[in-house]
Chain A
């Protein structure tokens, strides 16, 4: 049989293709230029490492959100999950006086909460939007009740060592930045190089077809929620270390908004099937940069939410334009 080799000169069409796939990199570059314009100090090392550090806690959640959205679902409960795990995590820390046990607790408990979402969605056949809206409300309510509206404070014995996890540095690089980058690389590897990653894309792109090639669709989607829960648990651990005090009613508030926004800005299709972990990594940093730019441009901080809302709509609109062409 003849194999047709279509020669492809580097032309307009190729550029378009690259742009289509990596448009989030272009938006990132534009944003960097704006950031430099409003803040001369932007490109300094300390500023950049602070930027990554500030993005990291939400960013780790956004990585999980990317999986869930690529698989064709959504998770609105991550903020409440984070608060619930963090609050109880502090209780565990204070009573066991072991940071390690707390870490294990956060990871296991987060995974369980995520899996519960997944089970309701796939085995109970309820839309993910509804299930996670319900658990968002439920998890938050539990932690507010347990704290009687007040904060969960890390005890004074644990405070000095525990605080250093999030605030410490290794070779001048903030720990949080290192952890965020390592987890990002790990998840990117999972999505690009393993069978599981391929299945997540396949399931999000075409559930029917995936089922007919032997993929256990339910299992893959539930696993995506479990992984999101796990990462939210890690994020809760880091959040408690950074704040050392979890105020139940508003800890990790609207993290789901930031995570979804980061995924959208990072070029992942809201309908599932397409998206990159690197995109979300840049996405959450872009969100943080926008906050910085707003402050530098003296725009009142109350308008942060408005700006984020507009950005989400714009990001998804641009995506639609790209796919239609």
Chain B
């Protein structure tokens, strides 16, 4: 075998991200690595690329045991990693990014700009894309940044390329071109580890598969021996998350109307309405302006145009506190950076929003705080020992429940959940879905910002698909399929229009 990872385990503090996982990839093989979010795929690949050290386990590359893998060593051995998150430096030019840390030199120490630009053009031609190497990366939109990332891996002689969801931001044409290059590379004996959630892609391009679930090895084999259904079953397992949720009746009265909301250059002319007890999902790809929209709805970003009516009254978007008082709560994305206050206790994290808006006294009464915590703990099912422990002692799912409970305490009517199940395990995800359902029972409305289709399908009544800062389509429950969502999220309908008008 060309690459063997044997019995790899990795602990992050008390969290066991990988338990005894093995992976084998042959020369010139395209290997599909499958698993739900949080299954441990990225961790495993980061270990292979030398970014993390495994707690236990062995790596063999070309039949040679590799001790103490580092990112530099991995690059020297010809292992390339195309990351899921874009790892480009925005303030450098395209070609400077491509050759970062591997610059071509002339006369011993001077940068050879000319040949670097020439090589960049060559690689872009192979990829059949027209990106000017002299352009600043910050000028490119997300799909093009992704292509730069891919080009970087193709620039040098490599033996193994790891592609972590490279197609999420690409259009269908670009994906087809990428696949063609992958096939060429395969003929040249380059191995590829391909991570994706899209079954059709995996089945069309990959030879063999390995499935991980909850940090454990589940199965490995050839794609030709299985079908999509079997693959899904391996991915999901017989976990609780497949139990369907019982939805409640949506009330007829509209609680919120958004009209022509604009925040240049992120999004333009967003209009929708929300009923009592309704869950709508807003989805799209990177760079669609979804994150900015979530912030704007909460008053955390200034609008240039448009208005929001809530409960028949015009909403004052000038400060977060006004929006909170009007009855909107928010669970921000990137829990670590934007929502938990890591040096404070569980109890204080829950109380914080109440303290800023409702609490009128100067002093904070410890007994009241504890009562407040117990009350909301019961509602949301937070599992905790001592509420005075630091919030970081909780698991991701329980942390998220604390953040949701913040707004319950304020009696908020609308809950903006921005990527609420990011980085939490499958079981905890289902708990969050149940909680969303419970919110609707209390006649609360939810706006869910998410990029995960299964999640949207599970909880949302309607789905708005964004593309380049605009709402491209509104899908009812019956129309919601992953295909339809991707079709509108990639703007394929607009591409189609363009082609027609040209011919």
In the complex the two chains form, is B364's CB within 8 Å of A213's CB? no
CB distance from A33 to the nearest CB of B (A): 31
Interface residue ranges of A53-91 to B (CB < 8 Å): none
In the complex the two chains form, is A274's CB within 8 Å of B343's CB? yes
Residues of B within 8 A of A269 (CB): 343
CB distance from A307 to the nearest CB of B (A): 30
Stretch from A158-166, A190-198, A238-246 that touches the partner: A190-198
Interface size class of B (residues with CB under 8 A): 20 to 34
B413: interface (CB < 8 Å):
no
A194 and B362 in contact, given A209-B332, A213-B356 (Cβ under 8 angstroms): yes
CB distance from A312 to the nearest CB of B (A): 21
In the complex the two chains form, is A215's CB within 8 Å of B356's CB? yes
- Please give me the residue from chain A that is nearest to B365 by CB atom: A193
Residues of B within 8 A of A194 (CB): 362-364
In the complex the two chains form, is A202's CB within 8 Å of B320's CB? no
B68: interface (CB < 8 Å):
no
In the complex the two chains form, is B364's CB within 8 Å of A212's CB? no
A195 and B341 in contact, given A1-B381, A212-B300, A212-B332 (Cβ under 8 angstroms): no
A264 CA to B378 CA, complexed, in Å: 40
B353: interface (CB < 8 Å):
yes
In the complex the two chains form, is A206's CB within 8 Å of B356's CB? no
A225: interface (CB < 8 Å):
no
Interface residue ranges of A246-303 to B (CB < 8 Å): 269, 273-274
In the complex the two chains form, is B324's CB within 8 Å of A214's CB? yes
A11 CA to B356 CA, complexed, in Å: 38
A40: interface (CB < 8 Å):
no
A1 CA to B382 CA, complexed, in Å: 9
- Please give me the residue from chain B that is nearest to A215 by CB atom: B356
Interface string of A211-240 (1 = CB under 8 A from B): 111111000000000000000000000000
* Option from B320, B338, B342 in Cβ contact (under 8 Å) with A214: B320
A210: interface (CB < 8 Å):
yes
A5: interface (CB < 8 Å):
yes
- Count A interface residues, CB 8 Å: 30
- Please give me the residue from chain A that is nearest to B330 by CB atom: A212
Residues of A within 8 A of B353 (CB): 213-214
CB distance from B138 to the nearest CB of A (A): 21
A214 CA to B352 CA, complexed, in Å: 9
Residues of A within 8 A of B356 (CB): 195, 199, 213-215
CB distance from B410 to the nearest CB of A (A): 9
Interface string of B310-321 (1 = CB under 8 A from A): 000000000011
Interface string of A169-205 (1 = CB under 8 A from B): 0000000000000000000000001111011011011
A157: interface (CB < 8 Å):
no
Residues of A within 8 A of B364 (CB): 193-195, 198
Count how many pairs of residues, one from A and one from B, have CB atoms less than 8 Å apart in the complex.
92
Interface residue ranges of B296-353 to A (CB < 8 Å): 298, 300, 320-321, 324, 330, 332, 337-344, 348, 352-353
- Please give me the residue from chain A that is nearest to B360 by CB atom: A195
In the complex the two chains form, is B341's CB within 8 Å of A209's CB? yes
* Option from A1, A6, A198, A273 in Cβ contact (under 8 Å) with B352: A198
Residues of B within 8 A of A47 (CB): none
Q: Which of A1, A4, A198 has the most CB of B within 10 A?
A: A198
A30: interface (CB < 8 Å):
no
A10: interface (CB < 8 Å):
no
In the complex the two chains form, is A205's CB within 8 Å of B357's CB? no
* Option from A1, A3, A6, A198 in Cβ contact (under 8 Å) with B355: A198
Interface string of B120-146 (1 = CB under 8 A from A): 000000000000000000000000000
A98: interface (CB < 8 Å):
no
In the complex the two chains form, is B352's CB within 8 Å of A215's CB? yes
* Option from A195, A201, A212 in Cβ contact (under 8 Å) with B339: A212
CB distance from B432 to the nearest CB of A (A): 14
B216: interface (CB < 8 Å):
no
In the complex the two chains form, is A211's CB within 8 Å of B342's CB? no
A216 CA to B341 CA, complexed, in Å: 15
Residues of A within 8 A of B332 (CB): 208-209, 212
Residues of B within 8 A of A206 (CB): 337-338, 340-343
A321: interface (CB < 8 Å):
no
Residues of B within 8 A of A205 (CB): 341-344
In the complex the two chains form, is A3's CB within 8 Å of B363's CB? no
In the complex the two chains form, is A273's CB within 8 Å of B343's CB? yes
A196 CA to B359 CA, complexed, in Å: 12
CB distance from A325 to the nearest CB of B (A): 10
Q: Which of B300, B353, B364 has the most CB of A within 10 A?
A: B364
In the complex the two chains form, is B338's CB within 8 Å of A209's CB? yes
A83 CA to B246 CA, complexed, in Å: 70
A195 CA to B383 CA, complexed, in Å: 26
B152: interface (CB < 8 Å):
no
A205 CA to B324 CA, complexed, in Å: 22
A125: interface (CB < 8 Å):
no
In the complex the two chains form, is A212's CB within 8 Å of B320's CB? yes
A4 and B383 in contact, given A194-B363, A211-B300, A213-B353 (Cβ under 8 angstroms): yes
B385: interface (CB < 8 Å):
yes
Q: Which of B300, B339, B341, B362 has the most CB of A within 10 A?
A: B341
- Please give me the residue from chain A that is nearest to B383 by CB atom: A4
- Please give me the residue from chain B that is nearest to A1 by CB atom: B381
In the complex the two chains form, is A4's CB within 8 Å of B385's CB? yes
In the complex the two chains form, is B352's CB within 8 Å of A216's CB? no
CB distance from B334 to the nearest CB of A (A): 9
Residues of A within 8 A of B361 (CB): 195
A273 and B355 in contact, given A194-B362, A198-B348, A216-B321 (Cβ under 8 angstroms): no
Interface CB pairs A-B, < 8 A, 8: A4-B384, A195-B356, A204-B343, A205-B344, A209-B341, A269-B343, A273-B342, A273-B343
Q: Which residues in B have some Cβ–Cβ distance to A below 8 Å?
A: 298, 300, 320-321, 324, 330, 332, 337-344, 348, 352-353, 355-357, 359, 361-364, 377-378, 381, 383-386, 406
Q: Which residues in A have some Cβ–Cβ distance to B below 8 Å?
A: 1-6, 8, 193-196, 198-199, 201-202, 204-206, 208-216, 269, 273-274
The 4 closest A-B pairs by CB, nearest first: A6-B385, A273-B343, A205-B343, A214-B356
